[in-house]
């Protein structure tokens, strides 16, 4: 999953529908301290909630860095 924020402000509790429940790993964050950023993100992981959204059975409540991108993937297959 790739989520982009093209605005100059962080977005908190930004909900995105996903096909799988369980733990999702933040595998890339363009605002990471590694790249000189402020480290605004999801602390490396986020748990999918049983809240349908965007036509998907689960959803993530994300923190999106300003003018940034986060890449996430399911930690494991729970289906």
Rounded CA-CA distance 62/48 in Å is 10
* Global model pTM greater than 0.85: yes
Rounded CA-CA distance 12/41 in Å is 9
- Domain of 55 in residue numbering reads as 2-74
Mean pLDDT, all residues of the chain: 96
Whether 8 is in a domain gets the answer: yes
Whether 79 is in a domain gets the answer: no
- Over range 41-54, report the average pLDDT: 97
Residue 52: its pLDDT value, please?
Answer: 98
Whether 30 is in a domain gets the answer: yes
Nearest to 12, CA basis, from 40, 47, 52? 40
Question: What pLDDT digit, counting tens, does each position of 16-45 carry?
Answer: 999 999 999 999 999 999 999 999 999 999
* Residue 30: CATH number of its domain: 2.60.40.1180
Domain total in the chain: 1
Residue 30: its pLDDT value, please?
Answer: 98
Burial class of residue 75 in the structure, from the number of CB atoms within 10 Å of its CB (0-12 exposed, 13-18 middle, 19+ buried): middle
Residue 78: its pLDDT value, please?
Answer: 53
Residue 76: its pLDDT value, please?
Answer: 80
Whether 60 is in a domain gets the answer: yes
Whether 40 is in a domain gets the answer: yes
Residue 77: its pLDDT value, please?
Answer: 63
């Amino acid at each position: 999953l790739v989520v982009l924020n093209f605005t100059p402000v962080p977005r908190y509790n930004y909900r995105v529908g996903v096909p799988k429940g369980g733990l999702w790993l933040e595998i890339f964050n363009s605002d990471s301290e590694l790249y000189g950023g402020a480290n605004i993100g999801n602390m490396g992981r986020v748990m999918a909630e049983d809240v349908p959204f965007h036509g998907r059975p689960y959803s993530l409540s994300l923190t999106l860095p300003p003018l940034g991108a986060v890449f996430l993937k399911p930690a494991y297959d729970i289906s």
